[in-house]
A = this chain, B = another copy of it.
């Protein structure tokens, strides 16, 4: 049998086993949740599953750090040890197994789309700007959930009445600086029963505009991710209620069903937190990229010397500079608060650089300690997650090197 045929037969068998494992985890989890079955037995399984997975992950991903202590149960630790012996016997790296179990649990955490489309009423959705990256993502996910999608693109305004007639939901998925104008342009075409939502990254002024322009259900939304994502799995979606929140329940359920995590907030809280999550992050990444360009660094040679974290940073910088510069500027300067915050960050950098220049070690230590207090509570999780991603990045580089 050729290598190719052997690979194919192994892969078929692997897929069947993986499907079984995912279904088993899903059933066991559902039973624990619904409490219809023998609860004690299932709880024991759940504890075991947790101990087994976490024991292994802690063993490999946290093993060589000095952070935190292993928190698994003794039972979990013992079962972890048995699994480690089995893996060693089969010469399977611990990280390979950790990723396999992690990915199976993630798959088990979302119900297969075909189930949801059976039990949900099909709705009609218009996506304004549906040809953009986010528009296409939303269209794909809602179609998979069994809903009907129409697109209103930039050249479709003469057919707006026709496209926007008899729809359950209109989603505005257009550039930030156009959102308010397009809200006012869309609203006159809507029936008072049609629900209106947007996905722009600034919420307070846009929510006000939507509420003023449309008398029906209104919702501000902000999916906290960009291009390159497969599904809503574990992605945060901020939801700012405007009017008649219940009209959006089926839509929010579809997102949750696809794995999304809904976070409800006032538009004001959203906008305040985005100063850091968006403006500061973009500004810091932008400055680093511009600095590296000014220093004329050799990216390829730097990559040969790169630590995993430096490589991740370079990748994040690379993503930003492949974007539309106007979008990047817009995110950084979308509000007066954002402009003031980036000024404060720039001052902080200058201050810290001066402290190092003057060798003022005592003040640096005190600043370090204050930040340490803020981040300490999260450091065990930060190490666990980043170690897992570092090991995954290394595997990806090794696999790419092998395949040419």
Contact = CB atoms under 8 A, between A and B. Distances in A.
A372 B292 CA distance: 11
A209 interface: no
Contacts of A310: 224, 277-278, 281
A273 interface: yes
Interface string A389-404: 1111111111101111
A136 to B, nearest CB: 7
Interface in A61-83: 61-67, 83
Nearest to A264: B304
B312 A45 contact: no
A228 to B, nearest CB: 4
Chain A interface secondary structure, helix, strand, loop or mixed?
A: helix
How many copies of the polypeptide does the oligomer hold?
2
B66 A401 contact: no
Interface stretch (A15-23, A152-160, A182-190, A211-219): A15-23
Given A283-B352, A319-B379, A352-B283, A225 B307 contact: yes
Contact of A265 (B94, B305, B309, B369): B305
A259 B42 CA distance: 41
A316 B45 contact: no
A278 B230 CA distance: 33
A49 B106 contact: no
A370 B281 contact: no
A122 interface: no
A398 B106 contact: yes
Most buried by B among A93, A227, A281: A93
A133 B387 CA distance: 15
A345 B356 contact: no
A399 B228 contact: no
Nearest to A223: B307
A377 to B, nearest CB: 7
A235 B66 contact: no
Contacts of A226: 307
A387 B396 CA distance: 12
Interface stretch (A167-175, A191-199, A244-252, A336-344): A336-344
A386 B290 contact: no
Interface in A25-49: 25, 27-29, 41-42, 44-46, 48-49
A119 interface: no
Interface string A295-307: 1010111111111
Contacts of A308: 225, 235
B92 A107 contact: yes
A10 B311 CA distance: 37
Given A19-B90, A93-B107, A286-B368, 8 more contacts: A18-B90, A233-B394, A289-B371, A318-B386, A319-B379, A321-B379, A325-B372, A349-B349
Which 7 residue pairs across A and B have the least CB separation, nearest first?
Answer: A318-B382, A105-B399, A228-B387, A106-B395, A346-B353, A96-B103, A106-B398
26 contacts: A7-B25, A15-B87, A15-B92, A18-B100, A19-B91, A64-B227, A92-B107, A96-B107, A102-B395, A224-B305, A233-B398, A234-B401, A236-B306, A263-B305, A273-B302, A276-B295, A278-B307, A283-B352, A287-B348, A291-B345, A316-B386, A321-B368, A325-B365, A339-B356, A345-B349, A346-B349
